[in-house]
Chains A and B, each alone.
Chain A
Amino acid sequence: MAKGSSKNIVFPEGFNVNKKRTGLGIALNEDRVIALKAEISSKGIVVLDADEQVLDSGTLGNGKINDLDSLLDSLKKLKKRMGFKAKYVTTNLPHQFYFMKRFVGPEGYFSASLANIEWEIKHHINGNISDYAVSTVNTGKTDNNKTNTIILASHHRVIDERSEVMTRLGLSLSAIDPDMLAIQNAIAVALSNSLEKMVMVVDASSPYTAFSLLSNGVFYPGGFFPTSKKILFGKDEQAVKEFAAQIVKVYNMAYRIMGLSMKKKKPDMLIILGRLADEAFNNDLASALDISLFDGNPFHTSTVKSKMKKSDIPWTSLIKPFGLALRTDHD
């Protein structure tokens, strides 16, 4: 754990607090772009500003940028309103554009050399490995003291496409993070001291819903599935029940290898984020899944404060750009 100097704030291991900076994160979502600025220092994180711009219909289609000019217009409007003068930014990769695979083994079992990573990943992607950017990260120890390593791959085309958007906006890309890792990092920094033993995180958005697990502080990637039209167009009781049933199904499939299922061992806490998240929906879903719902605010904790005067955007939508802003290493 990295420790802050003055207030003894405890940050998660791997988080860079040595350099005081203003981080900017921009999340390119299917129907809107959301930007967030945060001041990062060893004294804590202060959210300075956040705003969103709804995109014209069809600008993005299933995550793919169909109309670059329209997207740039929207981003420029956002930039003008927020008045950000940053040079660097971190943006996101939607769930459908990356592949994430967890490996478990004794310490030193998996050597993260390029050849090893490529060998592992090429058995899971339908494409030429040279077309993919690959990376690994050690996520911590399992309960039985084994090491979790995550291998990540994303097509260069998607990364280049999003990088070009930021370049044309006059920004340099500091990093590009998968949606689920951005959310995980935000939770790790803001909430790690106040979470239950096993927390399920659900990003209920369009066109996909994704989920992951945080067990004893260790991140376990889950998966994603197409969000049904029924829940997108009406969150009535029946639609929520069906949505919950789908989450149970994919959860059981994803974590079967870890011996987890909603029947045998369900999470202790549920965090629901994303476009679908609101108070009523979150309560209905938590009740359908019979899991306690997280009801705090990650922007008012011992490590994170907010200076935003008023924002109509709920924290459930801001958590992703917040996680992205934390990854920006320069102003």
Chain B
Amino acid sequence: MTKFLVTDLLTPRVVKTPRKAKSSKGLPKVGKSFLVIVLFMVLMILAAVGWFVVRPQILAKKGQQQQIAESEPEPVQPAKQTPNKPPKKPIKKPRGKGLEDIPWMCFYKPLLNSIPRARGNLYSIVSGPEGVLLFSGVVPGENVEIDPKKPLLPGMRVENPKIIEVNPVDGGVNYVVQADMIPMDEIDFDPEPIPPYMRGQMLRQIDSTAKAFELSDVSSEPIGNEDVKNGSRYLISLKAQGSLEQIKKFVEKMENSGKMLEIGQISLEGMEQQPLISDEIRLGLVFRLYNIELNIPENKPEISDTLKTTDSIETAKSDTINK
């Protein structure tokens, strides 16, 4: 049914004010001081109870355990495996088998490398829904036809490009294209899971690495935890500013951290509305830190442990079958 379209471009914007803490809202000054004193006294009482009552009990229990441990004989260590076994070589894992649960691992370094080769000028790259990238730019020339079949970003691992929007602008044609991301075929390291107790450390590492690569206005924060197949993942957002080169180095460093870490969402746009290659870039990233058990049948420890020497997954397979 036809609608009468009512928009409102005249209403002035409401200036956002910083949110106040709810607990202090409405409490008079005297009330606040009283609350602080009461809380302090409660803490003091708890500390005293802990020191004089609970601590002696714990110490007594610990002493008993130590006595028991000292009286038991030392367990005999089992003999170590033969030293003839060659050191394990890193195994390249085919994408789509083992790491399908971390689909965008190592995806963004090649993407950032492809930006200088873009047709015309690229102005922004942003994540759409899962596995979809949106990028906008300007191809110089009047009435240029944007053909999605001709790659706008040579070397970028995307497919099924669709033109979302085309607008003529001064000196060219502005486009917005949506494309499906193609995961990397393989990676050349064994990623380590990031268990929950390492999440804080990773947050600090991401933040400090960004600063070490001289990105400015860096702010990072945890944004949540999600259950995924075979485990869970932890999300950390990072906002920063810097040149394309600085961002490339930072992203490369993080993607090659050896950890189960991927960039889930990205947002790159110029601060001065210039092309990404020449502008200071406003960067937004969401890192996903995985704590999962990878489903790689070829690399299961019980298989490799049964072998005397294992150079490749194929050898491992055939040997197991021959047994």
Question: A214 and B2: CB pair below 8 A?
Answer: yes
Query: Is A177 at the interface (CB under 8 A from chain B)?
Result: yes
Question: A126 and B123: CB pair below 8 A?
Answer: yes
Query: Is B41 at the interface (CB under 8 A from chain A)?
Result: no
Q: Total interface residues on A, using CB and 8 Å? A: 56
Query: Is B310 at the interface (CB under 8 A from chain A)?
Result: no
Residues of A within 8 A of B7 (CB): 135-137, 152, 175, 177-178, 181
Which residues of B175-197 are within 8 A (CB) of A?
Answer: 176
Question: A126 and B273: CB pair below 8 A?
Answer: yes
A-B contact count (CB 8 A): 110
Closest to A214 in B: B2
Which residues of A210-256 are within 8 A (CB) of B?
Answer: 214, 217-219, 223-226, 246, 249-250, 253-254, 256
Query: Is B4 at the interface (CB under 8 A from chain A)?
Result: yes
Question: B3 and A140: CB pair below 8 A?
Answer: yes
Query: Is B202 at the interface (CB under 8 A from chain A)?
Result: no
Question: B5 and A219: CB pair below 8 A?
Answer: yes
The answer for the CA separation of A327 and B3 in the assembled complex, in Å, is 13
Question: A133 and B9: CB pair below 8 A?
Answer: yes
Whole-angstrom distance from the CB of A302 to the nearest CB of chain B?
Answer: 14
Query: Is A317 at the interface (CB under 8 A from chain B)?
Result: no
Q: Total interface residues on B, using CB and 8 Å? A: 31
Query: Is A154 at the interface (CB under 8 A from chain B)?
Result: yes
Query: Is B165 at the interface (CB under 8 A from chain A)?
Result: yes
Question: B167 and A12: CB pair below 8 A?
Answer: no
Q: A11, A136, A175, A214: which contacts B10 (Cβ < 8 A)?
A: A175
The answer for the CA separation of A11 and B7 in the assembled complex, in Å, is 18
Question: B1 and A140: CB pair below 8 A?
Answer: yes
Question: B6 and A14: CB pair below 8 A?
Answer: yes
Question: B9 and A327: CB pair below 8 A?
Answer: no
The answer for the CA separation of A317 and B136 in the assembled complex, in Å, is 35
Question: A257 and B162: CB pair below 8 A?
Answer: yes
Query: Is A159 at the interface (CB under 8 A from chain B)?
Result: yes
Question: B4 and A1: CB pair below 8 A?
Answer: no
Query: Is A50 at the interface (CB under 8 A from chain B)?
Result: no
The answer for the CA separation of A214 and B269 in the assembled complex, in Å, is 34
Residues of B within 8 A of A (CB): 1-10, 13-14, 123-124, 126, 134, 136, 143, 145-146, 162-168, 176, 267, 269, 273
Please name 12 further chain A to chain B contacts, defined as beta carbons within 8 Å, in addition to the given A14-B5, A126-B123, A185-B4, sorted by A numbering: A123-B269, A126-B273, A139-B3, A175-B7, A181-B5, A181-B7, A214-B2, A217-B2, A224-B167, A225-B168, A253-B145, A253-B163
Residues of A within 8 A of B (CB): 1, 11-15, 93, 101, 114, 122-124, 126-127, 130, 133-140, 150, 152, 154, 159, 163, 173, 175-178, 181, 184-185, 188-189, 192, 214, 217-219, 223-226, 246, 249-250, 253-254, 256-257, 326-327
